[in-house]
Amino acid sequence: MKSIRTTLIATALMAGLTGLALAQNTTAPADNTRVGRMEKMREHKSEHKGERHTKDLGELKSKLNLQAAQEPAWNTFTQSMQHPARMARPERASLEKMTTPERLDMMQAMKAQRDAHMQQRADATKAFYATLNAEQKQVFDKETARWMKGSGMHAMKHQGGHGHH
């Protein structure tokens, strides 16, 4: 068991270091135009995703047929489901100046922020779920299972390895 854990940690470390190595600025100035276009495409995709997310939440709310007493928990739930502002990535120049332990610390800090946001989502979802009656829970389970279908490892493979939702 300990060797599996050690192997997983080593693999995660190597993947992180590989990502940092690939992120180094080795592109030619002509590639900056391509990078700019890719960033615009990501922004457009993110906007479209946000619109779809808002629409899905609205449809869920109507299907749940909420009572007035459930509204505060619904509001907390929907606020927690908003996508956080994309975390700014450090400039390549500053990454190059960091030591490996500093880069690892930075990666862990970024992960801790993502984990904290996920915990907020989980807490708000569980609190909202607790306010639902049996019929509403069935609707909620069915609808959110459909949402989660596209956010797992399979989706990550088709999104270039990034499982953002």
pLDDT in tens, the chain (165 residues): 555 655 556 555 555 555 555 555 444 445 567 666 666 665 555 556 668 878 889 999 999 999 999 999 999 999 988 877 766 777 888 888 999 999 999 889 989 998 999 999 999 999 999 999 999 999 999 998 887 776 554 444 444 444 444
* Angstrom distance (rounded) from CA 78 to CA 15: 34
Query: What pLDDT sits at residue 35?
Result: 62
Neighbouring CB atoms inside 10 A of 124's CB total: 19
Query: What pLDDT sits at residue 155?
Result: 44
What is the model's pTM? Answer: 0.58
* Angstrom distance (rounded) from CA 37 to CA 47: 15
Which of 154, 113, 137 lies closest to 60 in space, CA to CA? 137
Query: What pLDDT sits at residue 2?
Result: 58
Query: What pLDDT sits at residue 79?
Result: 92
Query: What pLDDT sits at residue 111?
Result: 92
Query: What pLDDT sits at residue 70?
Result: 94
Return the structure tokens found at 105: 């610390």
Angle, helices 100-131/71-80, rounded to nearest 10 degrees:
160
Query: What pLDDT sits at residue 91?
Result: 81
